[in-house]
Amino acid sequence: MKGFFRSLPLYLFHIGFVRPVLTWIVGVRYRRRNAIPQGPCLVVSNHNSHLDAAILMGLFRLRRLPTVHPVAAADYFGSTLFKQALAMWLMNGIPIQRRPKHGVDPLQPVIDQLNRGHSLVFFPEGSRGEAGVVARFRPGVGKLVQKLPGLLVVPVYLAGPERIWPRGQTVPVPLNVDAFVGKPRSYNPKDGSRQIAEQVQRDVLSLAPPPPPPPGQRAEPPQRVAVCGFGGKTRDEVMRAITTRLGRHGTALGLGSTLLESNPEGSQETSAPIADIPHRAWTALLAKLIGANKRFSGRKFSEKIEIARISETIGDRRSARFVVTDGSALVDLSSWAAAFSYHGVFDDSEMNRVVEYLAGKQKMPFGKWWNFLRRAPEVWLVNEWSLVRPPIPTVLVLVLPPVTHTMSELRSTGAALKAHQNEAGLERLQQGYRRMGELLRRRHRVTVIEFDPTDEPAETIAERVERELLRLAESNTAADKKA
Amino acid sequence: MTELLGNELRLVWALAGALITVSVVAFVTRRRGGRFRALPGWAGLWWFMAIILVLLSRSNRWISFPLLAFMMFASLRAYFSVAPVRPRDRYAILVSYLAIPLILWPAFIGAVNLFQAVVPVVLFLVVPVFLVYGTTERGLLGSMGRMLLGVIFFVFCIGHLALFAGRSHHGLLELFGVLVLAAELPQRMAGRPHPGSPWFRPLAGIFAAMFLATGLGYLFASLAGMSANDGARAGLLVSVAVTLGALVSEAVATDLEMTSSAAVLGRGSTMTRMVPAVYAAPVFFHYVTHFAP
């Protein structure tokens, strides 16, 4: 009964004020809200506004409210009776000292609540800071992880509250807010607290949507490099080398099994974004249904589509200067089609039409559906279902080791070989890639660089790509000036 | 039963029929991707719009006006969330929200002339003051354009629907709903013109929309107290306005870099779903008031 009366103001405040305001006035949209675990967890997020705690408490069901506590700075929220009542009584907050006395552990109240099975809303930045800027996460979150091994941490990225009620403003202005919830995970308590805090910050930032473009003149679209051909590991290695190299000249994003971001300050890697995309399964299923997985699995197909989608989005938002992809839906699908489905039948204009179908520049005529459905259903699928419009790369790196080398690598894995994995099949595929490269060079002015990994290291190719892109950038600038 | 099928409610049933058709088409084609991806969201929004139209036409203003005001507020908020405005424009945004009740008030008391006077005063004289107040920052004109465009679409244009409220315009709002749905569905199914795609498909969509809206206008006009010819002309005008609205919203969306749905995470879709309809509202109102009274 005592607990009920203690929780009553909390329920009334949230049911009567907080949730209606968040839903109807602010228009908060939670993404992947169901990722919040049923048990105790630590919700961490970027912090720019007083609304943040209320928005994050909205992630939990109403019945869990008494067991959810936002962690509040005691010096700020304890300064007046009003703030204290609001933060501790109506919002169920836990005060912690930002500047504790010597020998006092400021995190002890937080640890106590987690040990009781309660959940916490925690802002590792420590303060609201400048609007739209995510400050470095303090090591407090790392210390919590160290003291409570196995603690589930839920990263959340809040986009929008900083525009509604930034620091220093007295009047909030309603605008939409998106809360992106990441997968709950635990961290290794043996790592240093600073290191854990950095990992948590990376996980929070990886959920952020691409930034909106600033008003005024649009930036140039990114220069794209596609690394295609044989050898998954080699391609990945080349992609990384090129991304790191290009990062010296501006933001370069490497898209593969992981997302590698490189800029003049250094490189950092975030968890695989492609693996978390929910509708990826739908694309894989579509590919399976249509029979597009004869030579590459539905999973591989959907991965290519998702990489192309992300690359397209980055291009739309102008959020990077260079985009390097491991594989390219456009080059790979058309080369495979040229090698196995239309070997010897395609002339250049036919092949170029396939490129335009894949790039979404032309709609496939109804009369050709049956032909494509029979021979290269994946091309039909991408075009007719508008799955994606894979961009044409600026530079295409073809990783083409000798066929004998690829075969010996395939045999060394011990896995059963697929029908096309023989000398003749790989030879045809190599020819398909070369023909496609030649076509892109002639018709779309793509710079094609062929690379044999048995001959030269990945660094050499990265250097060549860098030189080529800088040369192109210079000639574009000169052409602009002339115009 | 006879009351339910009586003349009074026939247009409500027609609107419901149009909505069901749209929803069925959206449901059947929802997995086709491409241009069909936007259909379910658009159909869902129209159920809400239809409720507001029916309430505006047939219920107490104290019920329908707050709902209409909320729709205006929510769409304006969604627009401002995707349109890049400077941080210091937040007070102008606030004033834009506050303009909603101010603009709806003349419609609430039935003063059409006052409505026509309040809108330009608020839009072109008051909002800019809050944009320029105490600032010499660059980007003012861009900000002002973005802000005024949002207010014109989601306050001024939608505000015209409020002028139909009350018994004197019985059934006109439902007719408007039917005509807009008839004008939008074929165009949305055919897709918008864009480089690379065959030109005849969007064109066929536009002609089909005009034909359908004109036909339905001719058929249902008598239920809204108009002559059949006036109804047909209203249908034609609405379909033209919807086509132009779609072109404008598409251009604005492209300029706001909303071409990729992933980029705006669905927020900007409110604009592309609503603008064609709100574009047609003033056209329909002025035609009905001045040419087919």
Find, in chain A, the residue whose alpha carbon is nearest to that of B145.
A215
Tell which residue, A408, A431, A414, has the closest CA to residue A229. A431
d(CA B190, nearest CA chain A) in Å: 13
pLDDT of residue A266: 80
DSSP annotation string for B24-86 = HHHHHHTTS-GGGGGHHHHHHHHHHHHHHHHHHHHS-HHHHHHHHHHHHHHHHHHHHHHS---
The backbone region for A276, taken as left when phi is positive above 0, alpha when psi lies in -120 to 50, beta otherwise, is alpha
User: Cα-flanking dihedrals φ and ψ of residue B209, to 5°?
Assistant: -65, -45
| Interface touch B87/A215, C-beta < 8 Å | no
d(CA B221, nearest CA chain A) in Å: 37
| Interface touch A361/B34, C-beta < 8 Å | no
pLDDT of residue B177: 93
Question: CB neighbours of A106 closer than 8 A, spacing ≥ 6?
Answer: A96, A97, A98, A100, A140
| Interface touch A385/B91, C-beta < 8 Å | no
pLDDT of residue B257: 64
pLDDT of residue A280: 64
| Interface touch B77/A166, C-beta < 8 Å | no
pLDDT of residue B78: 87
Angle (nearest 5°) at CA A30 between B42 and A188 = 145
pLDDT of residue B214: 94
- Count of alpha carbons within 13 angstroms of residue B123, beta-carbon side: 21
Per DSSP, which regions of chain B are E strands? none
Q: At what angle do helices B172-190 and B269-286 cross, to 10 degrees?
A: 130
Residue B117 parent element (H or E): helix B112-120
Which residues of chain B approach chain A closer than 8 Å at the C-beta? 32-35, 70, 73-74, 77-78, 80-82, 84-87, 90-91, 93-94, 97, 139, 142-143, 146, 195-198, 257, 259-260, 262-263, 265, 267
| Interface touch B259/A316, C-beta < 8 Å | yes
d(CA A167, nearest CA chain B) in Å: 12
Tell me the count of A-B CB pairs closer than 8 A.
83
From residue A452, give the alpha-carbon distance in Å to each of A329, A406, A423, A461: 22, 11, 17, 10
Tell which residue, A419, A436, A425, has the closest CA to residue A403. A425
Tell which residue, B131, B112, B134, has the closest CA to residue B123. B131
pLDDT of residue B260: 43
- Chain A CB contacts of B196 under 8 Å are 356, 360-363
Angle (nearest 5°) at CA A449 between A448 and A450 = 120
d(CA A99, nearest CA chain B) in Å: 32
d(CA B115, CA B129): 21
Which residues of chain A fall short of a pLDDT of 50? Answer: none
The backbone region for A32, taken as left when phi is positive above 0, alpha when psi lies in -120 to 50, beta otherwise, is left
| Interface touch A316/B91, C-beta < 8 Å | no
d(CA A214, nearest CA chain B) in Å: 7
pLDDT of residue B262: 35
Please say whether the beta carbons of A38 and A115 come within 8 A: no
d(CA A138, CA A122): 11
Q: What is the ipTM of this complex?
A: 0.80
Pairs from A473-478 (Cβ < 8 Å, separation ≥ 24):
A473/A223
| Interface touch A27/B257, C-beta < 8 Å | no
Find, in chain A, the residue whose alpha carbon is nearest to that of B195.
A361
From residue A482, give the alpha-carbon distance in Å to each of A168, A414, A477, A479, B111: 47, 58, 9, 5, 59
| Interface touch B87/A163, C-beta < 8 Å | yes
Please say whether the beta carbons of A379 and A354 come within 8 A: yes
Find, in chain B, the residue whose alpha carbon is nearest to that of A356.
B196
User: Cα-flanking dihedrals φ and ψ of residue B73, to 5°?
Assistant: -65, -45
Count other Cβ atoms within 10 Å, centred on residue A170.
Answer: 5
Buried b (16+ CB within 10 A) or exposed e, B192-207: beeeebeeebbeebbe
User: The whole model's pTM is what?
Assistant: 0.65
d(CA A387, nearest CA chain B) in Å: 7
SS3 per residue for A301-338: HHHHHHHHHHHHHHHHHCCCCEEEEECCHHHHHHHHHH
The radius of gyration of chain B from alpha carbons, rounded to an integer in Å, stands at 19
First to last CA, chain A: 79
Count other Cβ atoms within 10 Å, centred on residue A184.
Answer: 17
Please say whether the beta carbons of A310 and A274 come within 8 A: yes
d(CA A244, nearest CA chain B) in Å: 25
Count other Cβ atoms within 10 Å, centred on residue A288.
Answer: 15
Residue B189 parent element (H or E): helix B172-190
CA B144 to chain centre: 22
User: Cα-flanking dihedrals φ and ψ of residue B187, to 5°?
Assistant: -70, -40
Per-residue tens of pLDDT for chain B, all 293 residues: 455 556 668 888 999 999 999 999 988 887 666 677 778 888 988 999 999 999 988 888 888 899 999 999 999 998 888 887 777 788 888 888 988 998 899 888 888 888 888 877 777 788 778 777 655 566 778 888 888 888 888 988 998 888 888 656 678 899 999 999 999 999 888 876 654 555 677 888 899 999 999 999 999 988 888 889 999 999 999 999 999 988 888 788 777 766 544 333 455 677 778 888 889 999 999 999 888 76
| Interface touch A317/B82, C-beta < 8 Å | no
Structure tokens belonging to residue A243: 């991304």
| Interface touch A166/B87, C-beta < 8 Å | yes
| Interface touch B78/A176, C-beta < 8 Å | yes
Query: Is A306 an 8 Å CB contact of chain B?
Result: no
d(CA A337, CA A354): 9
From residue A75, give the alpha-carbon distance in Å to each of A72, A80, B180: 9, 10, 57
d(CA A404, nearest CA chain B) in Å: 42
DSSP letter at A221 equals: P
Question: CB neighbours of A117 closer than 8 A, spacing ≥ 6?
Answer: A39, A40, A67
From residue B151, give the alpha-carbon distance in Å to each of A252, B77, B128, B140, B154: 38, 10, 12, 16, 5
CA B69 to chain centre: 13
| Interface touch B257/A215, C-beta < 8 Å | no
Collapsing DSSP to helix, strand or coil, B204 comes out as helix
| Residues β-bridged to residue A477 | none
> Residue A361: which of B77, B97, B196 has the nearest Cβ?
B196
| Interface touch B84/A215, C-beta < 8 Å | yes
- Chain A CB contacts of B93 under 8 Å are 173, 175
- Chain A CB contacts of B139 under 8 Å are 215-216
| Interface touch A362/B33, C-beta < 8 Å | no
Question: CB neighbours of A112 closer than 8 A, spacing ≥ 6?
Answer: none
- Count of alpha carbons within 13 angstroms of residue A353, beta-carbon side: 12
- Chain B CB contacts of A131 under 8 Å are 87
B265, B269, B271: best to mutate for the A interface, most A CBs within 10 A: B265
- Count of alpha carbons within 13 angstroms of residue A97, beta-carbon side: 9
> Residue A313: which of B85, B94, B260 has the nearest Cβ?
B260
Find, in chain B, the residue whose alpha carbon is nearest to that of A178.
B265
> Residue A215: which of B94, B139, B267 has the nearest Cβ?
B139
pLDDT of residue A276: 53
pLDDT digits 0-9 by tens, B64-108: 899 999 999 999 998 888 887 777 788 888 888 988 998 899 888
The radius of gyration of chain A from alpha carbons, rounded to an integer in Å, stands at 27
d(CA A461, CA A54): 51
Distinct helix (H) and strand (E) counts, chain B? 13, 0
- Chain B CB contacts of A171 under 8 Å are 90-91, 94
Find, in chain A, the residue whose alpha carbon is nearest to that of B143.
A215
Find, in chain B, the residue whose alpha carbon is nearest to that of A388.
B34
